[in-house]
Chain A
């Protein structure tokens, strides 16, 4: 048959046109950005009025949330829309192609005549499919389409056109997706589907989406503003309280709602911070009171003694005596000042203090050995357990001073541990151990110990328990130990030794070999 060959190019044309059809779907989907632009302009309007009303953080926050939300929901809607379009047009094109395939088969068998016959028989019963066979003058030979978009039959391929169905008399145009084929002898075949209904559905959906977006913006702005307002009101409450605290007294606290949320935690932390500041302020006041007492008292004594000596009869021996006690008194003052300075330096941190690997056991043994004769003289047995080398990173001088202070303290307050108990000799233990990354130096005595409630207090500068006020000592020993511990990133713990005091100097241990400075 002569008419057979055209089917082949047609078939390839089908394939190529299908691709076109796919891209047509794309184009339709790209209509979406315009709609999104519409939604942003909505937002823009809302923002403008918002600025006019309120410049508050509450409003700004809700707008930011809304913008973010709108952006992402826009992307989501666009994605869904695009997918729907692709599926919808894909199905449509598939149907048209199948139909055309069948007709091409008929054409191959019986040429145009057969084609006209088949189309006539198919259009006799009502169908969704559009058919049209025309000759070279554009006269319809068969089909169910009357008026067409002019020039629709001039080129082959997939296209969207307007047409008028036969059944409808009135001048109403329908939309259709059609495929036009050029047949030999300038005949044309059109196969297509009406898309009017689906188009209407899509328009409806688009309108609904737009209204939805508009509603979302209104509700979003309102709701966001309400929520932000509530959240910010609590921040405002906290800032109000802090203003009151700044102006007034430190005893004021931020109120908690009891909900245990982030704001309650913030308030709790602020309150803890205020607590600490109040404590520090109190401590500062106490220290200055104590400095006043512990430094002014000896200064007063010193001055008084010199004055008395000058007032008295000019006696060389009395002068000499007064001068000697003056020097003694000033030596004590110097010692107190030195201890205070050392604590201040240690508390100020690393600058000016060199760190090196220090063997804690060795230092403990050294210092214990230094104090051993004194302990023996006092009638106290000094037991040292520091066999395993424990290396820390630190300042040997300060560590040595700290251990000396602990021993000094133990000898001063722990020596009378045998009072009444008749245990036959007080004992001070010194032990160095490594406990999970921490080097611990423990000095334990059998003295009266420190009541649990007072343990934090005795570490403070100038602190001495009331009943030990009468004894010598500036009360700086344990403070210095605590400051040295803090400087080394460790801590001083005071525990019960059942009975007695157990002072634990805990310092971060250092990995690697034990080497002396």
Chain B
């Protein structure tokens, strides 16, 4: 496993797909970077500095608020793409900030960070109006992948019936996968795995994101269970084709993209 620092530098040129292109979800090489405006609400100075630095290096515009009230005021006033909110904040608790924002009609996607390790914390965070939840301590690569996935959430991938990456096509209605016109037989779970990867084409998807979204579990599997699933899928999708689409991003996760496109 590689370090998060290494990952962030390696990862920085890749960013979300151009939001204006809504006809099909296709992976980009990321050079047409669409930087996001991110508001970080975090009271720990060192953690905040590290976070802001990392996100800026990844090409985003970042603002910082050190307490709940200031954060809420900024979030209500400014036009942000993503909010990163610490759970425990001075003056106003992170969860109440999120629910207040939702009550005031602010729908900006919010990622909640928490040092609490309670089993049901996640559920509470999402119920308060958060869109994703990450327990501390986290790897920066994990946070970045989740932030970018959240930013992409605004795109209408949900509505697409056919997802395309290069010559790989996934028909969500017919439950059919083809590459270059050739049908690829996949198991139901492999279909969901591929669907999630293609929905986030051009983005890094971490192992825990896959476990959460494809299997709906939030624990850490102790061994490389997800890797084996992905490599199995890869052997179906990429084997026999000269251009690999499913890439392993060292120290972070996986990404599906067509490098030639």
Contacts and interface: CB of A to CB of B under 8 A. Distances in A.
Given A341-B117, A345-B117, A477 B139 contact: no
Contact of B228 (A341, A346, A352, A373): A373
A334 B139 CA distance: 11
B220 A377 contact: no
Interface residues of A, number: 39
Given A328-B1, A345-B117, A352-B120, A400 B229 contact: no
A444 to B, nearest CB: 19
B23 interface: no
Interface string B207-236: 000010001111111111100110010000
Interface string B132-176: 000001010000000000000000000000000000000000000
Contacts of A367: 217
A376 B232 CA distance: 11
Interface string A324-340: 10111011001100100
A327 B1 CA distance: 9
A345 B119 contact: yes
A345 B116 CA distance: 11
Contact of A374 (B117, B219, B225): B225
Contacts of B220: 335, 338
B217 A366 contact: yes
A395 B119 contact: yes
B221 A324 contact: no
Given A405-B222, A477-B222, A320 B119 contact: no
A338 B116 CA distance: 10
Contacts, number: 82
A480 to B, nearest CB: 10
Nearest to A409: B222
Interface stretch (B3-11, B47-55, B198-206): B3-11
Nearest to B224: A374
B71 to A, nearest CB: 26
Contacts of A205: none
B2 interface: yes
Nearest to A369: B189
A345 B118 contact: yes
> Which applies to chain A's interface (DSSP): helix, strand, loop or mixed?
helix
**Residue among B2, B118, B216, B228 with the highest chain A CB neighbour number at 10 A:** B228
A404 interface: yes
B246 to A, nearest CB: 15
B221 A404 contact: yes
Interface string A472-502: 0100010000000000000000000000000
B70 interface: no
Nearest to B227: A374
B123 interface: yes
Nearest to B211: A370
A109 interface: no
A354 interface: yes
A323 interface: yes
Interface in A285-326: 320, 323-324, 326
Contacts of A405: 222
Interface residues of B, number: 29
Interface in A368-384: 369-371, 373-374, 376-377
Contacts of A400: 217, 219
Contacts of B117: 338, 341-342, 345
A371 B219 contact: no
Contact of B223 (A341, A398, A401, A411): A411
B80 to A, nearest CB: 29
A16 to B, nearest CB: 87
B232 A373 contact: yes
A352 B119 contact: yes
Contact of B118 (A324, A352, A374, A412): A352
**Residue among A320, A327, A408 with the highest chain B CB neighbour number at 10 A:** A327
Contacts of A345: 117-119
A200 B132 CA distance: 102
A341 B229 CA distance: 29
Contacts of B223: 374, 408, 411-412
A397 interface: yes
A324 B218 contact: no
Contacts of B224: 374
Given A373-B228, A373-B232, A405-B222, A324 B120 contact: no
A395 B189 CA distance: 23
Nearest to B217: A400
Given A345-B119, A370-B225, A377-B228, A397 B217 contact: yes
Contacts of A373: 225, 228-229, 232
Contact of A323 (B1, B5, B139, B215): B5
Interface string A384-400: 00000000000101101
A353 interface: yes
Nearest to B120: A354
Contact of A397 (B1, B218, B221, B232): B218
A327 B218 contact: no
A374 B119 contact: no
Contact of B2 (A324, A353, A371, A477): A324
**Residue among B123, B139, B223 with the highest chain A CB neighbour number at 10 A:** B223
**Residue among B137, B217, B218 with the highest chain A CB neighbour number at 10 A:** B217
B1 to A, nearest CB: 6
A404 B217 CA distance: 11
B137 A334 contact: yes
A412 B222 CA distance: 11
Contacts of B120: 352-354, 395
A376 B3 CA distance: 29
A412 B223 CA distance: 9
Given A377-B228, A411-B223, A331 B1 contact: yes
Contacts of A334: 137
**Residue among B119, B215, B218, B221 with the highest chain A CB neighbour number at 10 A:** B119
Given A353-B119, A354-B123, A404 B3 contact: no
Ranked nearest first, the 3 interchain pairs of A and B with the lowest CB-CB distance are A373-B228, A401-B219, A324-B3
9 contacts: A327-B1, A330-B137, A334-B137, A338-B220, A352-B120, A374-B225, A395-B119, A400-B219, A477-B222
Given A320-B3, A324-B6, A395-B120, 15 more contacts: A320-B6, A324-B3, A327-B4, A327-B139, A331-B1, A338-B220, A345-B119, A353-B120, A354-B123, A366-B216, A369-B189, A395-B119, A400-B219, A408-B221, A477-B222
Interface of B: 1-6, 117-120, 123, 137, 139, 189, 211, 215-225, 228-229, 232
